[in-house]
Structure 1
Amino acid sequence: MSDAKFNVGYRILKYYFWHRYLFKKQVEKAKKNPSYQKLNSMLKEFEEEKPLLQQQYLENCIFTIFDLETTGFFPEIGDEIVSIGAIKMQGEQILEKKTFYEVINPLQTVSAETKKFTGLKRADFIKAKTLPVGLKEFLDFCKGTILVAHPASFDINFLQKRIGKWGLPSFDPEFIDSYALAKELLNEQECYLDDLVKKFQIAKRTRHHALNDAIMTAEIFQELIKLCKANKIETIKELHEVAGTGA
């Protein structure tokens, strides 16, 4: 058995025999806090505004381009969010002063490997916010906008799974997967963040820092919006049709 398979198997056992029970107790405690109740109410608003956002023209849209850094790839077995970074765009214009960055203190101890990967240190987590508080602030920041992530299939899914683990209402925002969109517009298979940073000659920032990755994604999305306009793709609905993501 490879080390990778052993580690995943070990983590699954650890989660089901220990962490999920500990996590359940911690969530029950968190439900008594006002921040949890506020987040509960806010999540319901995103689904309500979705139909209106889908009808907008690209040039009038306000986008929130965001990135998550996490402890791993498997929210179902306890991986958690450790930071959220975001920047806004209006149409194809990046709003450089409209940024968001928050370190999230997970319920489990953060591994040395995750700290090294993200550049986060113990001191960052000591002063960090809990997920209900940090996520509430992030949703305040992006309310009324269309979310964009690269790939959204990871970031949106991770948010949805972790929100579900906290016993909160489902999270169903309007979002765009810039990775899927790039693959269709460019007709290329290699459309990961580093590939497109190189292709569009975007200034490279330190990777796996949530805000840095969000800014680079915004600069990529800016180029994709220009390509959309050149191809007469003018609405969010049409963009979804091209990306094959469905509105």
Structure 2
Amino acid sequence: MTAHAQLSFDEIVPEVEVPLNEVTFVVVDLETTGGSNAQDAVTEIGAVKVRGGEVVGEFQTLVDPERDIPPSVVTITGITEAMVRDAPRLDSVLPAFLEFCRGSVLVAHNAPFDTGFLRAGCERLGLRWPKPKVVCTVRLARRVLTRDETPNYRLGTLAGVLGARTEPVHRALDDARATVDVLHALLERLGPIGVRTLEDLLGHLPDVTPLQRRKRGLADALPNASGVYLFRGPNEEVLYVGTATDLRRRVRQYFTAGEKRSRIKEMVGLAERIDHVVCAHPLEAEVRELRLLAAHQPRYNRRSKFPQRAWWVVLTDEPFPRLSVVRTPRPTALGPFASRRAAAEAVDALQEATKVRRCTERIPARDPRGRPCALYELQRCAAPCAGLQSAEDYAPEVIAISDVVAGLGTGVLHRLRAELERLSRAQRFEDAAVHRDRLAALVRSLDRGQRLSALAAVPELVAARPDGRGGWHLAVVRHGRLAAAGTARRGVPPMPVVDLLQASAETVTEGAGPLRGASPDEVRVVHRWLTTGGTRMVRCSQPWVEPARGAGAWHTWLERAVSGRTPYAAVD
């Protein structure tokens, strides 16, 4: 991304520490055909944009709901079917409203109702819901006003109690204007008790636990820099690890109403201290997070339960090798797989394309005395256990599997595709679909393994990625692991920085397996950074090459197969 690139809607998020008089609020009200966002539709949207107590814009339109409006609803809102017949539909109104709301805090009376309809509309139309910060004036009023001051918290009642200039009449824009007055009156009451920033306001809502409020100060010492943060408990144990582009801003959000996860609220309640590590750039932060998760296995990080778990498929070391799923890989292993089930499915696909044996008994090279099983009758195995196949005759099946894993040949994949074509010609489409998905999964796992192992084979490389401000993010990678990270800001010659990083980089000893002992997650993260975002190679100790006959050549087939355009598209 360049320095002048357009930010996405999600990136334009108001800072939680902004004073309330500098926050832009969009107060919205919807009229609908009923109360269910799954079955009913919007008939009118009204919104008022305010900042510093002043109105800076308004948005109002009727909406064609494309369905009947119940008479009971017409009685309440006064919006008839004739009024909305020529109105724009939601597919043209909603994008305009989202643009109107860009970068603002959304406010509504009974906000879950209005945001529920807006989210449902985005989902139906394939739009991305921007997840803005939301303030509900019902919740805020319950927090500010007692029952002695108001008999209930309906908008009409609050408008009267708080002296709103506009009377709500169940029309979107008028009700939004009344809600603006209610919001301002509530904010005036919060000022004397210290609610002066957006963070204070979000922290004052009922969803924030007393423990969250009390521990907000834990984030005060954090810098406004990118890095990794660690919540520590009463016994110095690490409770949670995360990354952020702005440590202070991100961590303070754990103490606001924006944090909805009950498990994380529980973690915040236990936390006694927050440590941090400032990182040169996002790649370093992501790698450090992975390493800290592996080292501490914090109980509140879901993915820290088994951070180093990976499964591999190997050929056993015996006269008649078979496929086995293991945790410790050999140099020629296929993987990594996230689960044993995924690895077992790869084994099934490879066994289907070859006559490598499926039994688990150990067969001697000479004078085997077993008896053929049913697989021999089905011509799925040549029965080496009974001496009906020699080790020399068995070897081509093993070589075919070794070649497809190493990227030296794709004969196994072509056999599987031929079977897919046969099933399709026989109009056994359900069987063909299952076979296609299994082949697609095998292609993905082969491609992933070949790409990661190719990176891990390189003793050292140095890469640079533009930082978006005229400088560079730099990384030294050794055997797939991040050995050093740094930056060369705009105007700073990058090569002297590269020399220093190489000289001070972590020593990496080559380990066992296709990934040379590196964590699969770390190699995957480093590979993604190296192959995206305009990253450039600066130095490389040896060529970084991927096999010419690897599974990557099957990408075209994979895209067509997964899209369902054809169950057996040819490989280009």
TM-score norm. by structure 1 comes to 0.74
1:84 corresponding residue in structure 2: 45
| Structure 1 residues 55 and 208: CA distance shift in structure 2, 3 A | same
- Are 1:148 and 1:175, in contact at CA under 8 Å, matched by a contact in 2? yes
Q: Which moved more, 1:236-245 or 1:186-195?
A: 186-195
**Which consecutive residues of structure 1, in runs of 5 or more, have no partner in the other structure?**
1-43
In the alignment, is the contact (CA less than 8 A) between 1:94 and 1:218 conserved in 2?
no
C-alpha displacement of 1:204: 4.9
Aligned 1:128-143 pairs, distance under 5 A: 128-143=87-102
- C-alpha deviation, 1:63, in angstroms: 0.8
Q: Which moved more, 1:122-131 or 1:161-170?
A: 161-170
Unaligned segments of structure 2, at least 5 residues: 1-6, 208-256, 259-572
Distance across 2 between alignment mates of 1:168 and 1:138: 12
Q: What's the C-alpha RMSD, in Å, of the aligned pairs?
A: 2.2
The CA distance in 2 between the partners of 1:112 and 1:156, in whole Å, is 25
1:65 maps to which of 27, 39, 44: 27
Write the distance in 2 (CA, Å) between the matches of 1:172 and 1:204.
Answer: 29
In structure 2, what residue type is equivalent to 1:234?
R
Which one is further off, 212-221 or 186-195?
A: 186-195
Q: Work out which of the residue numbers 54, 68, 71 in structure 2 matches 1:94.
A: 54
8 Å CA contact retained: 1:101, 1:210: yes
Q: CA deviation at 1:171?
A: 4.0
Contact 2:64 2:90 in 1 (8 A): yes
Partner secondary structure for residue 219 of structure 1: helix
2:16 alignment counterpart: 54
Q: State the shift of 1:80 in Å.
A: 0.8
8 Å contact 2:159–2:167 — kept in the other structure? no
Tell whether the 8 Å contact from 1:65 to 1:149 is kept in structure 2 after alignment.
yes
Q: 1:135 to 1:115 in 2, by over 3 A?
A: same
- Provide the C-alpha distance between the structure 1 equivalents of 2:41 and 2:73, rounded to a whole number of angstroms: 11
Query: For residues 164 and 56 of structure 1, do their structure 2 counterparts lie closer, same or farther at Cα, with a shift above 3 Å needed?
Result: same
- Give identity over the alignment, percent: 28
1:150 to 2:112 alignment: no
Contact 2:104/2:132 (<8 A) preserved: no
Residue aligning to 1:21? none
Conserved? CA contact 2:24–2:104, under 8 Å: yes
Q: 1:87 to 1:150 in 2, by over 3 A?
A: same
Q: Which of 160, 167, 183 is matched with 2:119 structurally?
A: 160
Question: How far is 1:104 from its partner?
Answer: 0.7
Measure, in 1, the Cα distance between the counterparts of 2:168 and 2:203: 33
Aligned to 1:177: 136
Amino acid paired to 2:11: E
- Structure 1 residues 217, 227: CA separation in 2 closer, same or farther (over 3 Å shift)? same
Alpha-carbon offset, residue 126 of structure 1: 2.0
How many residues are paired up?
201
2:145 equivalent to 1:186: yes
Indicate the SS of the match to 1:108: coil
Task: Please say if residues 155 and 168 of structure 2, whose CA atoms lie closer than 8 Å, have aligned partners that are also in contact.
Answer: no
**Which structure has greater helix proportion?**
1
Within the candidate set 61, 74, 77, 2:36 is matched to 74
Whole-Å Cα distance in 2 between the matches of residues 231 and 218 of structure 1? 21
- What corresponds to 2:511 in structure 1? none
Does the 8 A contact of 2:27 with 2:179 survive in 1?
yes
Return the structure number with greater relative CO, CA threshold 8 A, min gap 6. 1
Give the structure 2 partner of residue 24 of structure 1: none
Q: How far is 1:98 from its partner?
A: 1.9
Matched letter for residue 85 of structure 1: G
Q: Which residue of 2 aligns with 1:200?
A: 162
Q: Is the 8 A contact 1:53 1:146 kept in 2?
A: no
**1 CA distance for matches of 2:191 and 2:25?**
16
Residue 216 (structure 1) aligned to one of 178, 182, 191: 178
Larger Rg: 2
TM-score (norm 2): 0.33
Structure 2 CA distance for partners of 1:53 and 1:124, relative to 1, 3 Å: farther
**d(CA) in 2 for partners of 1:191 and 1:122?**
31
